[in-house]
Amino acid sequence: MESVKPILEFKNTCVSYTKQTMAVKYVSAAIGRNTITAIMGPSGCGKSTLLRAVNLMHNLYQNIRVDGEILLNGENILSMEPIDVRRRVGMVFQRPAPFPTMSIYDNVLSGFALNGIKLSKGEKDATVERCLRSVALWDEVRDVLNKKGTFLSGGQQQRLCIARALAMKPDVLLMDEPTSALDPIATKHIEDLLVELQKEVTILIVTHNMGQAMRISSKSMFMYLGELVEYGDTGMMFSNPADERTKAYLTGKMG
61 or 121: CB nearest other proteins: 61
Report the interface residues with other proteins, using CB under 8 A: 55, 57, 60, 82-84, 86-87, 90-91, 93, 95, 97, 99-102, 110-111, 113-116, 161, 164-165, 168
* C-beta of 64 vs 254, nearer to other proteins: 64
Report phi then psi at 50, rounded to 5: -65, -45
Minimum CB separation from other proteins for residue 54, in Å?
Answer: 11
Q: Which of 200, 86, 108 is nearest to 156 (CA)?
A: 108
- Give the residue from 213, 116, 132 showing the smallest Cα distance to 165: 132
**Identity at 230, one-letter amino acid code:** E
* Radius of gyration of the chain from its Cα atoms, rounded to whole angstroms: 18
Provide, rounded to whole angstroms, the least separation between the CB of residue 18 and other proteins: 16
Alpha-carbon span 87 to 109, nearest angstrom: 13
Question: Is the Cβ of residue 61 or residue 143 nearer to other proteins in the bound state?
Answer: 61
Q: How far is the CB of 161 from other proteins (least distance, A)?
A: 7
> Closest approach of Cβ 30 to other proteins, in Å?
23
Cβ distance 220 to 231 under 8 Å? yes
Please, which residue, 25 or 87, has the CB nearer to other proteins? Answer: 87
